[in-house]
Chain A
Amino acid sequence: MSETAQSRAVPALSLAGLLGVWAVAALLTRDPQLLPAPWQLAAPFWAELRSGDLLYHLGMTLWRVACAFVLAMSIGVALGLAMGRSERLDRWLDPWLVVFLNLPALVLIVLCYLWIGLTEVAAILAVSLNKIPNVAIVLREGARALSPDLDAMARVYAMPRGARLRHVVLPQLAPFIAGAARSGVALIWKIVLVVEFLGRSSGVGFQIHMHFQLFDVGMVLVYALSFIAVMLVVEWRILQPWERRVRRWRAA
């Protein structure tokens, strides 16, 4: 088997193996209420898709993920960059970062809901606050690794701030931003589900909450797997192509 064929076949076989384990477990359990077999999810999935509920709730969750992602990335990148460039600022803000990094996600969510109310703003803010410290820490490392030679070059040639940021600083930070973005999306969508579970009336998390109370394992799985599929598409169609594009100069 050739190298590329193998690199494509292995993940597919591995996923098929997981599906096999699930099917065997379902057959052994012999209780579709507790663990339906993979093919038993097809009918409820189709019904949910046709009624429009699935798409509506997936859309709401995706919208919250996008808002929290943009907010967490922009604040985290700015904070990390500033902390990596200024030792003084770093000394002052580092303890805050450690506190927020060790604050359990659940505590932040509950506090946001209690203080702001059960609103969309509270939900998105809670998710963002959970992610900002991670982004800031990754980007701080990136800012510390910025090349002093390129910095000197930009100063000698008096490059304007905007051009310096766009052509000198951000390309150096791109691998760090990509890393923070990918781990960020994975973390954010999980926290968004918790936020919806606790205090929203729409979204995948809300649906899982409802079907959890009805002991409907099948629907819980339908919603969870559908959203995993959406996030895989985001990874393959958006994040990975973007990363390849910014890395083009390395491969050339």
Chain B
Amino acid sequence: MAHPATLGAARAALAGGMIEVLVEDKRFGGVQVLGQVAFTVAPGEVLAILGPSGVGKSTLLRIVAGVDEDYTGHVRGPARRAMVFQDPTLLPWRSALDNLRIVHPALGADEAQAMLDKVGLGDRGAAFPGQLSLGQQRRLSLARAFAGRPELLIMDEPFVSLDAATGEEMLALAERLIAETRPATLLVTHARAEAERLASRIMHLAGQPAVLRDGAGP
């Protein structure tokens, strides 16, 4: 398996899909948002990062995901990444099935259909995202993340603003998919119950600028 994101000496240390994150400094304008933030996640492990809103959790995730490259530090890890966003972030002008197949061109029609079946959207393949309920859109977003068999999965408050029953359903689904695919998972949330349910390890992001501490914090 090739790891284009890992180079030189780091390659040996990161064998087997391990991800290593070291952020030393991240600023917006002149304001430092993130201080020293360092952690590793092994394949099959779920690391939850807890913290109050506005502390910089989403900023950290954007750096790990490779969307934000303007920071001091490095992120080393597998190339096959997936992200579940706070909003479903689907392509509203493409059908549910196409939302999977366009993002993952290697995915066959049967595999895409199987993925939809797995998240309970088997009969909604032709529907546009606007025709799905918010819960269904979230499940489609989960399906898209797992369809690429990611080695690194990033989840940004994936269960926020869902009612209790739908939230529980989503949580169970995510649990099942993670157990099946076993990516290195980074979950950011402010709901401790969610973190305790899914995570094998919990860390806490707090302070100004924010730094990372072990445990679920105060």
Contact = CB atoms under 8 A, between A and B. Distances in A.
A and B from one complex: yes
Interface string A133-169: 0000000000000000110110111111001000110
Q: Is the interface of A mostly helix, strand, loop or mixed?
A: helix
B91 interface: yes
Contacts of A156: 65-67, 81-83, 154
Interface centre among B67, B87, B127, B131 (most CB of A within 10 A): B67
Q: Is the interface of B mostly helix, strand, loop or mixed?
A: loop
A157 B89 contact: no
B65 A152 contact: yes
B128 A252 contact: yes
Interface residues of A, number: 19
Given A156-B82, A156-B83, A249 B92 contact: yes
Interface in B95-110: 102-105
Contacts of A171: 91, 93-94
Q: How large is the interface on B (under 10, 10 to 19, 20 to 34, 35 or more residues)?
A: 20 to 34
A168 B82 contact: no
Contact of B89 (A153, A160, A246, A250): A153
A163 B65 contact: no
A158 B93 CA distance: 20
A153 B89 CA distance: 7
B62 interface: yes
A64 to B, nearest CB: 33
Interface of B: 62, 65-67, 79, 81-83, 85, 87, 89, 91-94, 102-105, 127-128, 130-131, 144, 148, 154
Interface of A: 149-150, 152-153, 155-160, 163, 167-168, 171, 174, 246, 249-250, 252
